[in-house]
């Protein structure tokens, strides 16, 4: 949850730097904040996903969604962010789609 709070702060701070040159002294801290918060979210989701699988409370495909979300941060999202702007944005979009899938799993009760 702490990673998501940091990520929210990064998003809000990015609004204030929308017209800043990139890269610049104004955007460098944002890059660091995005990196740290994304890694924290990924690590937290991997721990949550491992717990979801071990407890067996969720069944079927739903039990793997939190783990997949966490792994997505490290493979393929982080490498894609270093590859190109478009590929990075596409993998972030895929991550958001997986969050939608998590929402669907939660609505379905996970059973």
Which residue range(s) make up the domain with 50?
Answer: 2-107
The model's pTM is 0.90
Q: How many domains does the chain have?
A: 1
Is the dihedral angle over the CA atoms 10, 15, 16, 18 positive or is it negative?
Answer: positive
For residue 41, give every residue at least 6 positions away whose Cβ sits within 8 Å of its Cβ, in sequence order, or none.
3, 4, 7, 70, 73
**What is the pLDDT at residue 109?**
77
Closest CA to 74 of 82, 62, 84, 65: 82
Distances (CA, A) of 31 to 21, 27, 80, 111: 13, 6, 15, 39
Per-residue pLDDT of the chain (111 residues; tens, 9 = 90+): 999 999 999 999 999 999 999 999 999 999 999 999 999 999 999 999 999 999 998 889 999 999 999 999 999 999 999 999 999 999 999 999 999 999 999 998 755
User: Could you say which DSSP state residue 25 is in?
Assistant: T
Distance from C-alpha of 36 to C-alpha of 32, rounded to nearest angstrom? 6
């Amino acid at each position: 949850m702490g990673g998501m709070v940091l990520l929210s702060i990064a998003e809000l701070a990015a609004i204030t730097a929308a017209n800043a040159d990139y890269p610049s002294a104004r955007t460098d801290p944002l890059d660091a904040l995005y990196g740290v918060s994304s890694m924290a979210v990924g690590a937290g989701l991997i721990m949550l996903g491992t717990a979801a699988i071990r407890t067996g409370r969720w069944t079927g495909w739903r039990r793997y969604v939190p783990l997949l979300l966490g792994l997505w941060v490290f493979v393929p999202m982080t490498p894609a962010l270093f590859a190109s702007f478009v590929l990075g944005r596409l993998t972030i979009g895929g991550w958001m789609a997986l969050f939608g899938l998590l929402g669907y799993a939660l609505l379905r009760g996970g059973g």
